[in-house]
């Protein structure tokens, strides 16, 4: 029995023996990590089966908060991904107060 060629490539990853990344692979990965999702060209990818939509882990779980301008500026001026540092500072505050409660 022959299979119909659908153009879909299936690949099973052996976690005990992962493939080795070349220097070129690592360089391309570093470039992609710096890009936002909107900047990546996905036009050559086939549509996901069943209309599956892929998102980053945790996407949609965050809430918007309002910070005072000076607090926001302090963290923003400290470099990229300042939201992670704001989050870490708030978690540290929570843990300190949980221990005293």
Please say if the pLDDT value at position 27 is more than 80: yes
Residue 70's φ and ψ, nearest 5 degrees, are: -70, -35
pLDDT averaged over the chain?
Answer: 83
CA angle at residue 9 from 29 to 18, to 5 degrees?
A: 50
Residues in the chain: 101
pLDDT exceeds cutoff 80 at 49: no
Global pTM exceeds 0.75 = no
Token pair for 23: 């220097």
Q: For 30-43, what is each residue's pLDDT tens digit?
A: 988 898 888 888 78
Question: Which residue intervals of 1-101 are DSSP H helices?
Answer: 23-34, 69-76, 82-100
């Amino acid at each position: 029995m022959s299979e119909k060629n659908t153009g879909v490539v299936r690949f099973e990853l052996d976690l005990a023996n992962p493939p080795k990344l070349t220097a070129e692979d690592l360089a391309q990965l570093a470039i992609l990590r710096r890009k936002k999702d909107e900047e990546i060209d996905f036009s050559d990818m086939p549509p996901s089966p069943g209309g599956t939509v892929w998102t980053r882990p945790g996407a949609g779980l965050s809430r918007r908060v309002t910070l005072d301008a000076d607090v926001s500026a302090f963290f923003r001026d400290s470099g990229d991904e300042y939201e992670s540092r704001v989050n870490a500072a708030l978690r540290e505050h929570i843990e300190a107060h949980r221990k005293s409660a």
